[in-house]
Structure 1
Amino acid sequence: MSTMGAAANRGRPGPGAVPVSGAVLEMAELSVGYGGSAVCGNVTASLFPGSVLGVVGLNGAGKSTVARTAGGQLLPLSGEIRAFGLPVNEDSLPFRRRTAAVFDEDVFFPALSAREHLLLVARGHGVSAPEDAVNHELDFFALQERADAVPDVLSSGQRRRLLMAAAFIRPSSLLLLDEPEQRLDPVMRDRLGSRIREFAGAGGAVFLVTHDPGLLRRTADHCLLIAEQVQELTPERAASDISGR
């Protein structure tokens, strides 16, 4: 059996999703942008435990800006955004402990290997049996053969998988993923879809920005089309919209 096949059949150690009660993320007439200028229409939506919100739109429509505002990296221009019943605040320790995110940039410690990065995250978040959890993520994301390599010598796809592994290895209730399919091959995209559904099935909530119609169909329960006027769409309609571009 291949390493990836073995990982798929072994089950997942570690904490995974941490369910919470009530809405995980609430946006009401939320306006996002830069320098006081909005980049898209106002966003109103709620995300509950056990669900995946797919977020789609053209390049430059404002999807990532909405995601970064949800992650506390940007302040809203107007409207309201709340996570776990409180205003989103990136500096809040409870918010940071409950929220895991993968955005577009690769951020690593240059002197730490892939394994050391994951051990740092696992131990920092109190994961039981951190070495076992790290080995599982290395297997799942096909990084075991590069576990002792530093980020600078990993390929762009390997660095992307390392970011995904770091997000999934730690306990969280809200997972923010900004185009996680970037630089992943079709097999790994399929495995990522299964992992997202596993996280939601355990009670987690996922905010998923994507351009991949297959990933959207496989994971999303409901969708937002980000544009000058934001619309709610079914996953099938949103996937068809992506495919037709």
Structure 2
Amino acid sequence: MTHPAVVTATSLVVGYGDVQVCAPVDLSLRPGQSLAVIGSNGSGKSTVLRTVLGLLAPVSGRVEVLGRAVDERDRRFRAGVAGVLDADAYFPGLTTREHLVLTARGFGVPEAGRVVDEVLEVFGISHQSDTVPEALSSGQRRRLLLAAGFVRPRELLVLDEPEQRLDVRMRRDLAGLLREETARGGAVLYATHDETLLRETGSPALLVGDDVSRLVAPGEAADLLAAGL
């Protein structure tokens, strides 16, 4: 049985206002699939993700998520799409654990405390449960941001260079988490510069650039990253 696409982009032009930042994008991402977005710095990777998340309007073309035009105000969109970008964002005054419990409860997660404790352990920050985010190291804050995406229900997980500020071991663990995400039927769309993460997830990739944006097979995508694109 073929499942409907979680994300569909058709002749999608992304940018700011009417300023296009890369060649038009076409993609289809279904449940149980992951897709990396790769390209040189400034090529438009983050802009593609922000457009899928509804934070930027398309310059032209169309993007649909969960079968509908993207609207971050839509209840189903907000319930089904988890995005982790590159900016630190926390609830002021809350500890690491309190931040995650509030996030989980806000999305109706049963036994939110137990789920949060498991995710804190997975991301290696359980010993920082009672620490406020501002007192964490840069790498620990990155782990907390990623953990916030994993404590809530989701059909689509969107990650912008999730490997940033993570050590080698955590990057490998993250690859395993993304494989588990697709194995349970979730869809993952992520931008990356990390060749190892790409190889270990086995993801095909969308290569974005000024002249052309095209889909590439997993092996070719990792080779492109290894060669510096």
TM-score strictly above 0.5: yes
Matching of residue 75 in structure 1 with residue 77 in structure 2: no
Unaligned runs of 5+ in 2: none
Please, which moves more after superposition, 124-133 or 89-98? 124-133
Instruction: Tell me which residue corresponds to 2:215.
Output: 232
Paired residue type of 2:152: R
1:220 and 1:156 map into 2 onto residues whose CA distance is 28
Instruction: Tell me which residue corresponds to 1:28.
Output: 10
Residue deviations 1:78-98, cap 9 Å, x none?
Answer: 000001110001111110100
Residues 53 and 220, structure 1, Cα contact 8 Å, conserved in 2: no
Paired residue type of 2:213: V
Residues 30 and 44, structure 1, Cα contact 8 Å, conserved in 2: yes
1:197 and 1:175 map into 2 onto residues whose CA distance is 12
Shift of the alpha carbon at 1:27? Answer: 0.1
Paired residue type of 2:85: F
Residues 204 and 221, structure 2, Cα contact 8 Å, conserved in 1: no
Instruction: Tell me which residue corresponds to 1:160.
Output: 142
Unaligned runs of 5+ in 1: 1-19
- Identity over aligned residues, as a percent? 47
Instruction: Tell me which residue corresponds to 2:26.
Output: 44
Paired residue type of 2:191: V
Matching of residue 195 in structure 1 with residue 172 in structure 2: no
Instruction: Tell me which residue corresponds to 1:16.
Output: none
2:206 and 2:100 map into 1 onto residues whose CA distance is 32
Residues 25 and 47, structure 1, Cα contact 8 Å, conserved in 2: yes
Residue deviations 1:102-161, cap 9 Å, x none?
Answer: 001010012000000110011111111111111101111111111111111111111110
Q: How many residues align?
A: 226
Paired residue type of 1:197: R
Residues 89 and 95, structure 1, Cα contact 8 Å, conserved in 2: yes
Shift of the alpha carbon at 1:31? Answer: 0.2
Counting only pairs closer than 5 Å after superposition, residues 1-245 of structure 1 correspond to structure 2 as: 21-228=3-210, 229-245=212-228
User: What TM-score, normalized by structure 1, do the two folds share?
Assistant: 0.90
RMSD: 1.1
1:45 and 1:99 map into 2 onto residues whose CA distance is 17
Which ranges of 4 or more aligned residues in structure 1 deviate by more than 4 Å?
Answer: none
Shift of the alpha carbon at 1:35? Answer: 2.5
1:202 and 1:134 map into 2 onto residues whose CA distance is 19
Paired residue type of 1:180: P
2:30 and 2:204 map into 1 onto residues whose CA distance is 11
1:236 and 1:36 map into 2 onto residues whose CA distance is 35
Paired residue type of 2:29: L
Paired residue type of 2:225: I
- Aligned with 2:90: secondary structure? coil
- Aligned with 2:28: secondary structure? strand
Paired residue type of 1:124: G
User: What TM-score, normalized by structure 2, do the two folds share?
Assistant: 0.97
Residue deviations 1:151-188, cap 9 Å, x none?
Answer: 11111111110011110111100000100000000000
